[in-house]
């Protein structure tokens, strides 16, 4: 039953400071149904002696109670539970992406060596004459310009696609 502290009557005369303390204690001891509903729920658990000592040492080190240490740990776990649960899957995906990236890089390195070989063979055979060297230089310049235009177009297309995605969100 809820009894407000104003009904508290000391059994003997006391000073106002003591009355306030006594009244505060009485008030805290009587909890209304509304206050009872707003209180935090309690969870109990058991720890091994070694784990309890670790929690106790940590609480002393941080200058907080053991309950605060355990509460913080539980709240951290609840906040990060999905990340912890998905970590093996994310690791597998990252490993697969890394393997694919390595394969693509190896393929590009092989292609680069093949192109360099063709480049060297063509240059060696064409550089024998002045006209051949000029034709080779002209072809090289033209190829560089075409590649630069293709890359610039691909970059522009990618930028436009990214802008559309950002605007859609």
pLDDT band at 18 (very low <50, low <70, confident <90, very high): very low
pLDDT of 29 > 70? The answer is no
Distance CA 9, CA 17 (A): 15
Query: Which phi and psi angles does 166 have, rounded to 5°?
Result: -65, -40
- What percentage of the chain carries pLDDT values higher than 70? 77
pLDDT band at 41 (very low <50, low <70, confident <90, very high): confident
Distance CA 16, CA 21 (A): 9
Q: What is the mean pLDDT of residues 2-23?
A: 44
Does residue 69 contact residue 62 with C-beta atoms inside 8 Å? Answer: yes
- What percentage of the chain carries pLDDT values higher than 90? 39
Q: What is the mean pLDDT of residues 24-30?
A: 43
Distance CA 41, CA 1 (A): 21
Tens-digit pLDDT profile for residues 93-122: 989 999 999 999 999 999 999 999 998 999
Query: Which phi and psi angles does 17 have, rounded to 5°?
Result: -65, -45
More confident residue, 94 or 4: 94
Q: What is the mean pLDDT of residues 35-54?
A: 83
Q: What is the mean pLDDT of residues 71-96?
A: 88
Q: What is the DSSP letter of 10?
A: -
């Amino acid at each position: 039953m809820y009894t407000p502290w104003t009904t508290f009557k000391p059994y003997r005369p006391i000073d106002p400071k003591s009355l306030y303390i006594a009244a505060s204690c009485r008030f805290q001891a009587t909890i209304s149904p509304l206050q009872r509903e707003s209180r935090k729920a309690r969870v109990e658990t058991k720890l091994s002696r070694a784990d309890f000592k670790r929690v106790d040492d940590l609480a002393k080190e941080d200058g907080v109670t053991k309950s605060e240490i355990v509460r913080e740990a539980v709240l951290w776990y609840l906040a990060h539970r999905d990340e912890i649960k998905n970590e093996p899957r994310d690791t597998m995906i990252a490993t697969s992406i890394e393997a694919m990236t390595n394969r693509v890089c190896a393929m590009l390195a092989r292609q680069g060596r093949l192109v360099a070989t063709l480049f060297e063979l063509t240059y060696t055979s064409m550089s024998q004459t002045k006209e051949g060297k000029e034709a080779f230089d002209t072809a090289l310049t033209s190829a560089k310009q075409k590649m630069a235009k293709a890359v610039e177009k691909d970059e522009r297309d990618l930028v436009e696609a990214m802008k559309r995605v950002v605007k859609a969100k």
